[in-house]
Amino acid sequence: MKKQFLFLLFAAAMFTATSSFASEKNSTEKAKGYTVRSVIDGRESTSAYNKNGSWVYTIQTYSTDNLDKSIIDKVKEQYANYGVTGIQKIEQPGVDAVYIVYLENKTSLKTVRLSNNEVELVSDYSKS
């Protein structure tokens, strides 16, 4: 029953999807696709689909009160002196999920990427 309800909810969201994936001047028949925005378990989610309805990507944004502990633990192995301020999970067909993790301490802001169980520094900003 819950799966059927979620499917109906998702189907309704698709009918009310925005056309932000398309150019402002394009007609619907020339549109590149559409996006669907939702909130699931406290996580904001944006999914993009091409004009044929095939899934292109999904980005989930975790709020600070709903962070994924396993991701935080993996990042904290290298960045123990930083607090996690946010996480985004990016999924695409045929590709392992990629996590973008935002970190902060008294002196800097960092953005790291976690994919295939490896943490990579993307950006580092000093607060000076």
Render pLDDT for 65-84 as a digit per residue (tens, 0 to 9): 777 788 888 999 999 999 99
Residue 29 has pLDDT above 90, yes or no: no
Over residues 47-55, the mean pLDDT reads 89
Residue 31 has pLDDT above 70, yes or no: no
Q: How many residues appear in the chain?
A: 128
Phi, psi of 63 (to 5 degrees): -80, 165
Give me the sheet containing 55-62, strands edge to edge. Answer: 33-40, 43-50, 55-62, 83-92, 95-104, 108-115, 118-126
CA distance 72 to 124: 18
